[in-house]
Amino acid sequence: MSEPLLVMLSIMQGSGPLAPLMFILFHVVRQFTFIPVALVCMAGGMLFGSILGTLYSMTGLLLLSALFYFVIRRIPRTYQKLMNIKHRWFGPHTKMTVGQIAVLRLIPFFHYQLLNLCLLERRPDFRGFIKGSVATNLPLAFFYTVFGEYITQFSAEIGVLIILGLLILFYLLREKMVIMKWHDFFSHKSL
């Protein structure tokens, strides 16, 4: 585990009743320390058990998603950088389904805020965005909280098989139809 995460875990263990609140807020601060979401969810399982760890992780991730929803449009430079990354990775006309986003969230070290941007494109209103956040964050929080201790004990081959299975699931959950405008199809941009 990373050093900032270990320091935060030791602080939380000694904080008593404030530990859940600190853990939830750590989900928001986590993005600035470059700690993957999966590691924080695993830590929640170790600290609070699978049920409370999942609940606290979901609360923290939903708080982070709501914060993203309100802040991203006020920072146009960051919004444009995320859009450029999305266009490079997935193409300019790709709109991912909620199922695809949920699967990609399960892949460790995948850019969390990029997936929030993809969800925002799919569900631009706040209520729909939060519903989509619940649907995409629940598998992530549950999987890594409950199975977090066991994932670290998997062999490399099992880890590769899990990632391969998730990529196949991502492909199967894709949107089957893309609507492209005439001028986009016949654009003469040089690559």
pLDDT digits (tens, 9 = 90+) for 37-84: 888 888 888 788 888 989 999 999 999 999 999 999 899 999 999 999
pLDDT at 77: 93
Query: Model pTM?
Result: 0.74
CB 124 within 8 A of CB 132: no
pLDDT at residue 111 tops 60: yes
Mean per-residue pLDDT, 145-154: 67
Q: Where are the domains of the chain?
A: 3-185
Mean per-residue pLDDT, 18-43: 86
pLDDT at residue 181 tops 60: yes
**Of 140-144, 146-150, 186-190, the least confident:** 186-190
pLDDT at residue 1 tops 60: no
Mean per-residue pLDDT, 128-134: 95
Q: Six-digit token pair at 113?
A: 């805020």
Mean per-residue pLDDT, 27-45: 84
CB 72 within 8 A of CB 78: yes
pLDDT at 163: 75
**HSE (side-chain half, CA atoms, 13 Å) at 149:** 9
pLDDT at 34: 78
Distance CA 120, CA 68 (A): 10
Mean per-residue pLDDT, 184-189: 66
